[in-house]
Structure 1
Amino acid sequence: MASLLSQLSFATTLLLFFTALLAYFLTLAIYRLYLHPLAHFPGPRLAALTPLYQTHHDILTTPNAQFTAHLTPLHAHYGPILRISPDEIHIRDSTFFDTFVGGPGHVRDKWAKANRANGSPGSVASATGHEVHRLRRGALNPFFSKGNVDVLEGSIRTKVRTLCSKLEESGGVVEMGTAFTALTLDVITEYCFGQELGCLEEEDFAPRWKRLMVQLFESTPVAKHFPIVAQVLGSLPRGVMGVLNPDFVPFFEAKDLIQGQAKGIWLAEQKSPTKSKEGEEKPKTIFHGILHSTLPPAEKSLQRMADEAFVLIVAGGETTARVGTVILAHLLQNSALYQRLRQDIANVMSGPEIPPSRMLEDIPFMKAIVQEGIRISAPVTNRPILVAPEEEIRYKKWVIPRGTPMSMTLQDVLFDPEIFPEPHTFDPDRWIRAAEEGKRLDRYLVSFSKGSRMCVGTNVAYAELYLSVAALVSSFDFELVDFDMKRDLEVTRDTFVGMPSKESKGLRVKVSSVVER
């Protein structure tokens, strides 16, 4: 009898549990569909019901990382504003972008759920609150200002020379995406640690680092939707993790390496802070600057330094490398543009040295090439998700409640045919025509976002692009090798940065001749 009662008690408990669970989900569904503050916004009912709607498109489709692409038919059906998850509103309207990112007097926080993918909570990119972001950004801004980039341009120039020397020595096929990644990684690591990785000096431009960057970004969709996976794998011994999920091994190897570099600077500064002859602090790198800043002690911890380094290196390396690769690919497919740019550069050169980036920027066609390359490459595909904690946001007849996560997709602006006719055509002259007509197309050049959350390394990226593109075009003729723009460079996946098809062979070239000067 006691055994029977025990079995009945267990069955009753189980029944009550599942009944309560069913009641919870039914109540949640009714709330999200009919009572939620966003219930009246247009959009798929399934998206309003569960965030798994996005998860399906990012992880379960083939190829994966496709939710960004799925937004296009959704907007075509529902209009310029729609609800894409139980809590998130997405807007497709280029004229709204300045309101979206805010401006002076308009606070914008990041949505906490949008920070889960990079696994570096101490970085400026992961600062959720406006005030924390302002403090962290303030410590970095001096190192990325245009004036400071001018001072440090000699270092970038040296690395561009190394890139050109290695190309002159190459006897076979070179994958230029790997070469650009080697350049940008060496630049940003010297900025961070005062010591470059040395990718440019390695054979074939250290392709393992390019592979590592690709693998890191390809893991983003899983990390974004299931951050617990990365956390659990990160707590396991490396050997066990490698068996369970080899794709995550490079992620943690990179973090270990970067943390080791940051630790070296941190320990050295604790022991003997860098001083100038006058006894004032003289920061040598970004991280010396952080340690010498007025940030509170908690913001100068080793872990936060490592987090900052990881995000700066991974994001700053691959985004700029993609832009450089796309620019060169388009130039090589249009010899008239290539020769025109070469002549314009030659007109301002007084010797074999490439002019400073500021002088290159003053060449209208050179500037137009870089602007169009930054636009059409759209290096960041991840949509920013921001929150206005202090105000309602109005869009046409819609009122977005205070504290609602809002998102916009950068490509929607960069490829808006109303602003950029034939948006998928590489047309640098569109910038020259706009300037002659008094139009400010640069208002819509949002590849690195805008406002207080704009990419901190934008000035470094511009200097790298001006110097490297000018050096390559003025120094070499290239021959494309089995290259197909659609297969090898066209973005098909949103992995924070845009990724081409997995069948991509990259931008492979032969150095067919070296230009005599």
Structure 2
Amino acid sequence: MNIVVDFAQKGLVLWLVYAIGRMVYNVFFHPLRKFPGPLSHRLSVIPRTIYMVNGRLPFHMDKLHKKYGPIVRIGPNELAFSSPQAWRDIYGHKKAGETEFPKFEGTYHLFPHLPRSLINATRGEHGALRRQLSHGFSDRSMREQEPIIGSYVDLLMQRLKEVTKENKVQNLREWYNYATFDIIGDLSLGSEGGFGCLQQSEYHPWVSLITQVVRQGGIIQGLYHLGVAWPIVWASKLGLLADSKHRSIVWEKVGQRMKGGERPDFLEGLIRKKDELKLDQAGMSMNASLLILAGSETTATLLSGATYLLTTNPNVLKKLEQEVRSTFKSDDEITLLSVSNLPYMLACLNESLRRYPPVAGGLPRRAPKGGAVIGGKFIPQDTIVSIFQWAVNHDEHYWTAPQEFSPERWMEDPKFKDDQLDAMQSFSVGPRNCIGRNLAYAEMRLILAKIIYNFDMSLADDSRHWLRGQRAYTIWDKPPLNVVLTPVVR
């Protein structure tokens, strides 16, 4: 027994010596030692991990940039940037001879036993996958998909008109999620009726499972940074995580879709070229899962944010109402194509993306072999680098009155002539930017235009401070958004 205790004590001493030595190295000898940042963050990854797991990291980064400037050392081997140039340097297209910044595996490929998808594919795989998926997001496919998308938005309006007869206060967070999940379920998996959320006025059990997957992701990333991700990997292999249950459902749905005929959805291009791409059902399922997650929750989040910002800025809401209601003579005139003729609507959505970005955190990359220059500074190879969208979107160096909700900044208003609009890149830039950007804008415009045309909106008392205290993981953990909906009488 004494031998065991003695061995444990010596092991603890050795670990403490190593930990102290590592921290001394991080502060005084590390290649990033000259970059500013809090001492605690330079010493260890623990402070960053705590903020991440608590859902407060994007807001913490905003404070750090205000104190330390456009480049902040937020971990022993990690830098955060806040500038338009950094977007181009980290994520943008590279010139001949330059190397693309690879994605940080600790965020994008946490489970090495799973196949890769578009979001974490290697450089060679990514190009082939994107070319095939792009067919589903082309102008031709958008026109073919319009009846599908429009049918769900019309059903949303029908359901809202029905429920507001009994109760004008409705939780639009839920209704936006119902609509976007149904749409993406149809477009990604060929599931007629989507997930049935709008029909049933409630979440499909699978949709509830997806929200658990996203929340678990923040915790898992935090553990990865601490170097203790292996228990989570084993839990995934044993099927103990929400992620495992989600993948099993996607597997079944994708199998059904692969046996179906041709249709203008997102998987059609992959199915046609599955042999050439070496995509089995598992690989197809990973891409379908990505499309469902990226194409539903983010759109619903932005619509929730836009609704809150509009209802707390009545002058802006009034101007948008005038644009929508004067442009269309009937509900039938509001289509995916016609909503593109609403310039103030687009400005409101862009300003909502700035003030309430669906992905508030960073999209981490690794500096390539040999290092690279970011924002005029040389960054050593393998350094983790990113831009936190919440921080750069509220940086007073690039925005006039950044805390204000002012769509006019996107319409060449002289008051905002010094704004650097390219500081906001909600869909990222470069070869890995979001493939669904055009669909997201079209869907958001259509849903919001229909809501504005059919209803007067005001916030319920219990949602007047909706944004206060929210936590942001991979996505936002949003409270109910209760809005008083009064049907417009014509």
**Structure 1 length normalisation: TM-score?**
0.82
Residue 41 (1) aligns with residue 35 (2): yes
Q: 1:474 and 1:40, CA in 2 relative to 1: closer, same or farther beyond 3 A? A: same
1:145 aligns with 2:123: no
SS of 2:296's equivalent in the other structure is helix
State the Cα distance separating 1:383 from its structure 2 match: 0.6
SS at match of 2:485: strand
From 416, 436, 457, the equivalent of 1:478 is: 457
Q: Please list the CA deviations of residues 136-190 of structure 1 after superposition, one character each: whole Å capped at 9, or x if unmatched.
A: 2222222123443233122111111000000111122321111111111111111
SS at match of 1:141: helix
Q: For 1:187, give the aligned amino acid.
A: I
> Matches of residues 144-223 of structure 1 in structure 2 within 5 Å?
144-170=137-163, 171-172=166-167, 173-195=169-191, 196-206=193-203, 211-223=208-220
Q: Relative to 1, partners in 2 of residues 1:210 and 1:289: Cα closer, same or farther, differing over 3 Å? A: closer
Show CA shifts across 1:385-418 (max 9, x none).
Answer: 1124256333466310233221111122222234
Say which is worse superposed, 64-73 or 30-39, in terms of deviation. Answer: 30-39
2:79 — aligned with what?
Answer: 89
Shifted more, 427-436 versus 456-465: the winner is 427-436
Residue of 472, 477, 483 corresponding to 1:499: 477
Deviations 1:445-497 (A, max 9, x none): 312222222222111111111111111111122353234343x2346322111
- Counterpart selection for 1:366 from 345, 354, 357: 345
1:209: how far off? 6.4
**SS of corresponding position for 1:39:** coil
Partner of 1:108: 101
Aligned CA distance change for structure 1 residues 166 and 23 (closer, same or farther; 3 Å) = same
Q: Residue 135 of structure 1 aligns with which residue?
A: 128
Q: Give the counterpart letter for 1:495 in structure 2.
A: Y
Give a deviation string over 1:106-163, Cα, whole Å, max 9, x none: 5121011122568965221223x33333232222222123443233122111111000
Check the 8 A contact 1:491/1:499 in 2, yes or no: no
Q: Tell which deviates more after alignment, 348-357 or 156-165.
A: 348-357
Per the alignment, residue 4 of structure 1 pairs with none
Q: How does 1:97-496 map to 2 (within 5 A)?
A: 97-105=87-95, 106=98, 107-116=100-109, 122-127=116-121, 129-170=122-163, 171-172=166-167, 173-195=169-191, 196-206=193-203, 211-226=208-223, 227-236=229-238, 249=242, 251-266=243-258, 268=259, 274=261, 284-293=264-273, 296-298=276-278, 300-389=279-368, 392-395=371-374, 398-434=377-413, 442-486=421-465, 488-490=466-468, 492-496=470-474
Retained in 1: the 8 A contact 2:26–2:76? yes
Q: Distance in 2 between matches of 1:409 and 1:154?
A: 37
Greater Rg by CA: 1
**Secondary structure, aligned partner of 1:219:** helix
After the TM superposition, which of the residue ranges 217-226 and 12-21 deviates more from structure 2? 12-21
Give, as a single letter, the amino acid of the residue that structure 1 aligns with 2:257.
I
CA offset digits 1:281-340 (Å, max 9, x no partner): x56432232121277454x12222222222221232111101112222233344443343
Inter-partner Cα distance in structure 2 for 1:12 and 1:190: 63
> Residue 458 of structure 2 contacts residue 485 of structure 2 at CA under 8 Å; is this kept in 1?
yes
Q: Retained in 1: the 8 A contact 2:58–2:390?
A: no
Structure with more relative contact order (C-alpha pairs < 8 Å, separation 6 or more): 2
Please report how far the alpha carbon of residue 45 of structure 1 lies from its aligned counterpart in structure 2 after TM superposition.
3.7
SS at match of 1:109: coil
Residue 124 of structure 1: SS of its match in structure 2? coil
Q: Counterpart of 1:244?
A: none
Q: 1:436 to 1:293 in 2, by over 3 A?
A: farther
The answer (yes or no) to whether the contact 2:103–2:364 under 8 Å persists in 1 is yes
Say whether residues 1:73 and 2:63 are aligned partners. yes
Q: Percent identity?
A: 23
Aligned-partner SS, 2:250: helix
Aligned length: 477
Contact 2:89/2:373 (8 A) holds in 1: no
| 1:265–1:288 contact (8 Å) kept in structure 2 | no
Q: Which residue of 2 aligns with 1:278?
A: none
For 1:160 and 1:79, locate their aligned partners in 2 and report how far apart those are by CA, in whole Å.
Answer: 44
SS in 2 for 1:233: helix
The alpha-carbon deviation at position 427 of structure 1 amounts to: 1.6
Distance 1:374 1:456 in 2: 17
Q: Aligned-residue CA RMSD in angstroms?
A: 3.2
